[in-house]
Structure 1
């Protein structure tokens, strides 16, 4: 919870008016203006996990690397659909093919083969089941996992709750400073939203798939809680 304040006396605003020669003069209210910036927060349990899973293959030729990759990726996609993941929640994230080189002192790099990569971004709407589905993907040939990114499917209600909290905090601060200055809050002049966080977690680093394969139990994915926040700037009129 953060807040910043700025107290503007009418005389200060009037002194700044001549600089605005090309615009209409600013109407200064009869009182003192107080600017407060406040952040409101609320917590929610994430209900969506987004994970990127992919297949990396090697081959002596580009065609061989791509062919092996396509075969294994087809099995991975089939496993996703069999697990009940909707088609709309599966999206190709990246496809790449690159030569692999051997470097020797005094000689130009020599191509030793090719590496093909194909990955998909998967939205799991049942976070608790995402770990077991990942294990099934590994069994079908996936050897690269990136994630999870935990988020809210519909963050609007949580954002509105954070907005309400931000305005409440701003008004409480305004009343505190007004009382300290021997004034009172007459009304709100303007409200503007400066930024919001819808609860999405930052993208985590790539995890080695070997760690998943060594675990005989289902890979655990814990949702925990995520913070939803909104920052607002509120201008108050004090009298």
Structure 2
């Protein structure tokens, strides 16, 4: 069952009170029309706040990286060998029923290799080719099984998993609302403490983030222990919103 937890990460990392404020631009929230040319002039002192709130929830997707690295005496041979091995990995992904829209090539590299020894000129030893894909998995209970299957198919490089939420718009809305309410309450606290009646919003801007409190790295599975399955624990992931606001203190 899905769980969400609401948390206040950061109250006020930076506060500045200024004597007078000039005309300032207004930033709209993402998804609305920008109002960068609208200016709101301030007549009184201005308080600047930055508040971050986050909502934690259960992830429903995981992203892993999988690839193949090969070496050969010539560049062409290294690339050809790599292509043959990577084709096996991609076909294995198809056989696992993973939608091709969720599989994306993220890097193809070819580099000369040298043997470096103390006091000697580097000796050319051949070429190394690598091909890596990013795979998004919507069934997080099968992440370990997929990683093991990819290694069995010939993958030599694995990374991740990175846990996430497919649609975190609800969590963002919760975090945004809480950040705004905290910003307004703190600005009014400053108004009262300095002898003013209330505050007027001058600017507000938003930045959004995503973090995984617990992120496990999938290590390369050794061929000497094929019976062991790769365990994973998704934990919870956090959706966070940071509001930067400027309020004028008014009577």
Coarse TM-score class (shorter-chain normalised): 0.7 to 0.9
Quote the offset at 1:236 in angstroms: 4.6
Distance 2:130 2:235 in 1: 32
Where 2:154 maps in the other structure, the secondary structure is coil
Q: Are residue 159 (structure 1) and residue 167 (structure 2) matched? A: no
Where 1:75 maps in the other structure, the secondary structure is helix
Does the CA-based 8 Å contact 1:46-1:226 persist in structure 2? yes
Where 1:52 maps in the other structure, the secondary structure is strand
Quote the offset at 1:106 in angstroms: 6.5
Quote the offset at 1:32 in angstroms: 5.2
The structure 2 residue matched to 1:220, chosen from 221, 228, 231, is 231
Q: Are residue 233 (structure 1) and residue 244 (structure 2) matched? A: yes
TM-score by length of 2: 0.75
Equivalence map 1:46-195=2 (5 Å): 46-103=59-116, 108-185=121-198, 187-195=199-207
Q: Are residue 13 (structure 1) and residue 20 (structure 2) matched? A: yes
Encode CA deviations 1:70-106: one digit per residue, 9 max, x unaligned: 2211110011111111111111111122232234566
Distance 1:35 1:117, change over 3 A: closer
Quote the offset at 1:163 in angstroms: 1.0
Distance 1:181 1:94, change over 3 A: same
Distance 1:26 1:87, change over 3 A: closer
Question: Gaps (5+ residues) in structure 2?
Answer: 1-9, 24-38
Quote the offset at 1:107 in angstroms: 5.5
Distance 1:61 1:188, change over 3 A: same
Does the CA-based 8 Å contact 1:190-1:236 persist in structure 2? yes
1:45 equivalent in structure 2: 58
Where 2:204 maps in the other structure, the secondary structure is strand
Q: CA RMSD in A?
A: 3.1
1:22 equivalent in structure 2: none
Distance 1:81 1:183, change over 3 A: same
Distance 1:108 1:178, change over 3 A: closer
TM-score by length of 1: 0.79
Does the CA-based 8 Å contact 1:144-1:207 persist in structure 2? no
Distance 1:38 1:98, change over 3 A: closer
Q: Which has the larger radius of gyration?
A: 1
